[in-house]
Amino acid sequence: MEFFPQEVIRTKRDGKTLSGKEITQFINAMASGALEDSQAAAFAMAVYFQGMSRDETGALTLAMANSGQRLFWPDNDQVTLDKHSTGGVGDKVSLILAPLLASCGARVPMIAGRGLGHTGGTLDKLDSIPGYDTQPSLEKFQAVVAQAQCAIVGQTAELAPADRKLYAIRDVTATVESIPLITASVLSKKIAAGLDHLVMDVKVGSGAFMKDLDSAKALATSLVESGNKAGLPVRALLTDMNEPLGLTVGNTLEVLESIDFLAGKQRESRLLEVTLELGAAALEMAGLHPDSKMAKTALLTALDNGSAAETFGRMVAALGGPTDLIERAEQHLRVASVRRPVTAGATGYLSSCDAQALGLAVMALGGGRKQRQDRIDHSVGFRNILPLGSRVEFGQPIAEVVSNDPESAEIACDAYRSAIVFASECPAPSSVVISQVDS
């Protein structure tokens, strides 16, 4: 029977179940270029509103994983690990954790993505490094992993090409938050990359795509169950995204913070906690350490003795970046020249934050995409961010805007102030790691 993509769209639009064959045909057409962007967008919107069964999600995941080549790594007893985040404001954990896991004995071929909506993308951050090739050939990707034990890159043309097309379309069609689409997108890349184990960071809160705990748990369960069904063991951690993670938001600024973190110059407590918990989960599930405590000790050792920073430097150099980035980061990474303090509008404690509004403010500065073809200004964003629970006086700086023109800087200052709620009493402290899903 002849394949008609509009009939697949119609079936899902009407809330009916798609067969594995229909899903595979649709994804193959997308990968080959036989599908119009408008048809892919209509499919994404239909799935967003109608959802997918677990079998449909599994079929979509495997179809996207099989839409290109799949990697197979040397059978040398070295475990192949990766971590992936569902996206948050100021989330630069991947930049830190990939070289950290590699320094603890794992092979880490990390296939990362670009920004989705108000959240920054790991590849957009790395694009701020001069010369760094985020889209190497498959052969170069494998060679860098062999040399540095880790590489953070985008999908090559050969790996899950259907996902790369659908990923970009979701970003500009308000279909990012769909659990089946997130599940298939994440897992298809990871399956194609030849992983042994995957740890997921499922963000929940104002700055995440999953705003409430029930939605985040549903996504975590979908990722764990779908991954295990496809032969990829997955463990998911639910982590708080009700405020930016770390001290910066913005591509270049987050790379600079990550380098400082690796080099031991500054390690914000929430960022450290998330990094250690995710890293320990990965090392423990892979059998590299018997328990979380020993795994965290190994991770801290790799941070403190400089081996993780050295690994990051080797990876950057191997992918075309500066050979001395760790030592001379501020000389290589351009930061916008206009600086404006965000001053507190009241005296009291920073009580809550609309983290999504902060992500959108960075987009308005030029640090994110409104349309697929938009160019990103990597040099803009927020830095010196005070965490929730900080006590401040009226007029005290609570963050700094970094921009390329005074007018947009003032607008960003106003947006930041509007996103912050002050209280007379200190909010109760909470852990950034909420819970874990592993079966």
Residue 185 known to be catalytic: yes
Catalytic residue among 12, 92, 164, 189: 189
Catalytic residue among 57, 61, 67, 83: 83
Residue 137 known to be catalytic: no
155 with 31: CB under 8 angstroms?
Answer: no
Catalytic residue among 92, 164, 170, 235: 170
Catalytic residue among 12, 57, 61, 82: 82
Catalytic residue among 12, 118, 190, 332: 190
Catalytic residue among 61, 67, 80, 84: 84
Residue 222 known to be catalytic: no
- In sequence order, what are the beta bridge partners of 381? 402
Calpha distance 400→46 (Å, rounded): 41
* 293 burial type by CB count under 10 A (0-12 exposed, 13-18 middle, 19+ buried): exposed
Catalytic residue among 85, 119, 188, 206: 85
The DSSP element (H or E) to which 422 belongs, if any, is strand 420-423
Residue 83 known to be catalytic: yes
Residue 37 known to be catalytic: no
Helix axes 20-32, 54-65, angle to 10 degrees: 30
Catalytic residue among 86, 183, 185, 222: 185
The DSSP element (H or E) to which 342 belongs, if any, is strand 338-343
Q: At residue 158, what is the residue type?
A: E
Catalytic residue among 24, 119, 122, 248: 122
Give the SS3 label for residue 343. strand
CA proximity to 108, closest of 271, 305, 288? 288
Calpha distance 372→414 (Å, rounded): 27
Residue 170 known to be catalytic: yes
Residue 85 known to be catalytic: yes
- In sequence order, what are the beta bridge partners of 382? 249, 401
DSSP for 362-418 reads: HIIIIIS-SSTTPPP-TT-EEESPPPTT-EE-TT-EEEEEEESSHHHHHHHHHHHHH
Q: At residue 379, what is the residue type?
A: S
Which residues are tagged catalytic?
82-85, 122, 170, 185, 189-190
